[in-house]
């Protein structure tokens, strides 16, 4: 055989493979989601997400410090109140768990790590939906957007560098940008969930935030069958002032990540969600796959698809090794 082209030459050693690798995952591209729960004195394990916990205020501070030391790009905070009501009033309380968590995190690391906040009402409502409801039980888009705008300003005041509206309400980004600018928070960035799908892979997350969801979110989260709709949503968010765009989930929507990357001129993030985390952890616990290799392939696939930023529960572990 006379072969002038032998691609295997570029796979011959670990050093060679590293030299020609087309994509890499760096700690500064990773964001660690963190849950802080009201009333806890010690971290509380989340059974469906081995290794992930609901934090107390003290353990949250320690986790944020660890994230900064490991060189992560940021942390995303979710708050879990002790009591909920129909309008999610705990989300706008001065002493609400998420606001206090943001302040504690920012006090811990200053500007050494980006502090990001989830702007949504689902953790704070007794019905578990991402907004307030009409008398007929539907999510009231415009009334909810007004609350999101107030939340965004409050989160910025309590220390968030980045606010992330995840509720998929029409007009949420524009309303938040206007409110932030009016409040003088011109430097607070918006990470918009431009393409968030009504996915089966959020199950463990609902345990993590003690969700009380009744029904489903299919009237506001997107249909997994649709790509063009996602691009339309993304375009609207960018036009309204989004600084970064999120695709969620990641693994089942790698094609969406790629399509979004090709049409926007802002950084693209992807959320490696709880169900994606849990299924690899469960398979590894049963000896069905090599855990670290599976993690590496998962994160690399999301980067290869076009995400510059990855939210993942493996962020700290990956950065450390």
Q: What is the pLDDT of residues 138-172, one digit of tens each?
A: 999 999 999 999 999 999 999 999 999 999 999 99
pLDDT at 184 over 80: yes
Q: Is residue 224 part of a domain?
A: yes
Q: pTM score, two decimals?
A: 0.95
Residue 58 maps to a domain: yes
Is residue 233 situated within a structural domain? yes
Q: What is the pLDDT of residue 164?
A: 97
Confidence of residue 134 (pLDDT cuts 50, 70, 90): very high
Q: What is the pLDDT of residue 209?
A: 87
SS3 121: coil
User: What is the tally of structural domains in the chain?
Assistant: 1
Q: Contact 229/199 with Cβ under 8 angstroms?
A: no
1, pLDDT greater than 80: no
Which position among 104, 217, 248, 303 bears the catalytic label? 248
pLDDT digits (tens, 9 = 90+) for 42-68: 999 999 999 999 999 999 999 999 999
Q: Which whole number is the average pLDDT over 14-18?
A: 92
Active site residue 84: no
Residue 19 belongs to a domain: no
Respond yes or no: is residue 196 known to be catalytic. Answer: yes
User: How would residue 214 be classed by pLDDT, with cut points 50, 70 and 90?
Assistant: confident
Q: Is the pLDDT of residue 190 over 80?
A: yes
**Residue from 46, 42, 23, 14 nearest 33 by CA:** 46
Q: Which is the catalytic residue, given 55, 155, 185, 196? A: 196
Q: Give the H/E segment covering residue 275.
A: helix 274-285
12 within some domain = no
Question: 13 lies in a domain?
Answer: no
**Residue 4 domain flag:** no
Q: Is residue 3 part of a domain?
A: no
Q: How much is the mean pLDDT over the chain?
A: 96
Q: Which domain holds residue 124?
A: 24-320
Look at residue 262 and give its three-state secondary structure: helix
Closest CA relative to residue 119, chosen from 169, 82, 72: 169
CATH of the domain at 123: 3.20.20.70
């Amino acid at each position: 055989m006379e072969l002038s082209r032998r691609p295997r030459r570029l796979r011959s050693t670990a050093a060679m493979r590293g030299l020609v690798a087309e994509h890499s995952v760096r700690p500064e591209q990773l964001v660690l989601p963190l849950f802080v729960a009201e009333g806890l004195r010690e971290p509380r394990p989340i059974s469906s997400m081995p290794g992930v916990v609901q934090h107390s205020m003290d353990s949250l501070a320690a986790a944020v410090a660890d994230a900064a030391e490991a060189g992560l790009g940021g942390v995303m905070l979710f708050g879990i109140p002790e009591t909920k009501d129909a309008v999610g009033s705990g989300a706008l309380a001065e002493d609400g768990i998420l606001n206090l968590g943001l302040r504690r995190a920012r006090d811990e690391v200053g500007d050494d790590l980006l502090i990001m906040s989830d702007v949504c009402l689902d953790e704070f409502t007794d019905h578990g939906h991402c907004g307030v409801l009409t008398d007929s039980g539907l999510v009231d888009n415009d009334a909810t957007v007004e609350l999101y705008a107030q939340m965004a300003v409050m989160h910025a005041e309590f220390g968030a560098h980045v606010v992330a509206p995840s509720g998929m309400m029409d007009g949420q980004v524009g309303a938040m940008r206007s409110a932030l600018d009016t409040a003088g928070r011109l430097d607070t960035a918006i990470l918009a969930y431009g393409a968030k799908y009504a996915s089966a892979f959020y199950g463990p997350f609902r345990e993590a935030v003690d969700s009380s969801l009744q029904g489903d979110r299919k009237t506001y989260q997107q249909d997994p069958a649709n790509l063009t709709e996602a691009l339309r949503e993304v375009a609207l968010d960018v036009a309204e002032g989004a600084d970064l765009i999120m695709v969620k989930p990641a693994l089942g929507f790698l094609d969406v990540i790629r399509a979004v990357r090709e049409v926007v001129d802002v950084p693209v993030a992807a959320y490696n969600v709880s169900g994606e985390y849990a299924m690899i952890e469960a398979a590894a616990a049963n000896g069905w796959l090599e855990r670290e290799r599976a993690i590496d392939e998962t994160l690399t696939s999301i980067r290869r698809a076009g995400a510059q930023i990855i939210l993942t529960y493996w962020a700290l572990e990956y950065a450390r090794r």
